[in-house]
Structure 1
Amino acid sequence: MQICTVCSKQAPKYKCPACKIRYCSLGCYKNHKDACLPVESKTSEPEEKTKLSSERWTVEDLLHEDDIIDKVPIQKLQLLGQSTELRDLLCNPHLRRLLQSIDTAESKDDVMKAAMQEPLFVEFSDQCLKILENESKALLAHKGKDS
């Protein structure tokens, strides 16, 4: 099990977007951010293009058992990573910046409300839900055939 890189006391729930260290709380982030040394790209490609092509996020990077009450099963979340439509949307740098601002916001509710006013974010959200709903319908249809 991992422990917080800053305080070495608790399990980390978050990852610094700049240097990728793991930390457990806002207090640890505040302590860390002054000494943060961002990880530099190894290639000369533009940063956003490099992140999109070389950085592969896993579900475990984004979701921790204790973080969320209403959870989507990991198997369904993995379908999002297999969607070409979703990947095409994520090529948009404006959408990626918007998602990063939501992820790093202290008041996620307020930032989410603002994001829902952005047509691009609504399109992204709708695509995620469509993928998850289609999988649920397919499972129900399959179970109906087995009965």
Structure 2
Amino acid sequence: MQLCGVCSEHVPKYRCPACRIRYCSVSCFKRHKDDDSCHPVKESDSASSSSTAVSSAAQPWTVEDVLDEDSHTDKVPLQKLQQLADSEALKGLLRNPHLRRLMMSVDSAEDKAKATKDAMQEPLFVEFADQCLKIIEPTEAEHDNDEF
């Protein structure tokens, strides 16, 4: 079990976007930023690592880096994420600049729950969400049709 890189007391839920140290709380993040120990990872840093011993900073982000402990119950399996990426229906919807602007506003919003609720008032966003759900959580009828 890994411990917080700042306080060494709790299980870390987050990762610093700059240096990728793992931390458990906002207070630990603030302490980390205030003590000048945060050194952003540069591409050249990972190139200087030996080919056999790759630093954790050079490793790609994982789902666990992004999700907190409570989010793991809603984690989408990688196979389903690949199905989302391969969906022609989703690709077609994502060609719409209005939908892309809506998604960017939700992503950059301070209150993501409110921004998502507001976006769900737009039929295009609802259509996108419905298409995603058809892939991630197909109904029995949709699942049966996929098998043929």
Place the TM-score, normalised by the shorter chain, in its bin: 0.5 to 0.7
Give the distance between the partners of 2:14 and 2:39, measured in 1 at CA: 17
Q: Structure 2 stretches of 5 or more lacking a match? A: 46-57, 95-99
Residue 78 of structure 1 deviates from its aligned partner by 4.8
| 1:81, distance to aligned residue in structure 2 (A) | 4.7
- Say if 1:17 and 1:136 are closer, same or farther in 2 by CA, change over 3 A: same
Q: Is the 8 A contact 1:3 1:12 kept in 2?
A: yes
1:59 to 47, 60, 63: 63
Query: What residue is the counterpart of 2:9 in the other structure?
Result: 9
Task: Supply the AA of the counterpart residue of 1:7.
Answer: C
State the alpha-carbon separation in 2 of the partners of residues 32 and 19 from structure 1.
10
Q: Which residue of 1 aligns with 2:20?
A: 20
Give the counterpart letter for 1:40 in structure 2.
K
Structure 1's 117 and 135: CA in aligned 2 closer, same or farther, altered over 3 A? closer
Paired AA for residue 43 in structure 2: S
Alpha-carbon distance in structure 2 between the residues aligned to 1:18 and 1:63: 17
C-alpha distance in structure 1 between counterparts of 2:39 and 2:131, whole Å: 39
Match of 1:37 in 2: 39
Percent identity over the alignment?
Answer: 41
Instruction: Provide the rounded CA distance (Å) in 2 between the counterparts of 1:42 and 1:97.
Output: 33
Q: 2:124 & 2:40 partners in 1: Cα distance?
A: 31
TM-score by length of 2: 0.53
Higher-Rg structure is: 2
Q: Distance in 2 between matches of 1:24 and 1:6?
A: 8
- Over aligned residue pairs, what C-alpha RMSD do you find? 4.3
Conserved? CA contact 1:12–1:22, under 8 Å: yes
Mind listing any 5+ residue stretches in structure 1 that lack a counterpart? 44-53
Is the CA contact (8 Å cut-off) linking 1:80 and 1:128 kept in structure 2?
no
- Paired residue secondary structure (1:4): coil
Matched ranges for 1:109-120 at <5 A: 110-114=111-115
**Count of equivalent residues:** 118
Distance in 1 of aligned mates of 2:32 and 2:62: 24
SS at match of 2:29: helix
Deviations 1:40-96 (A, max 9, x none): 1239xxxxxxxxxx98433222224x3249x32542x65225514679x6xx8xx67
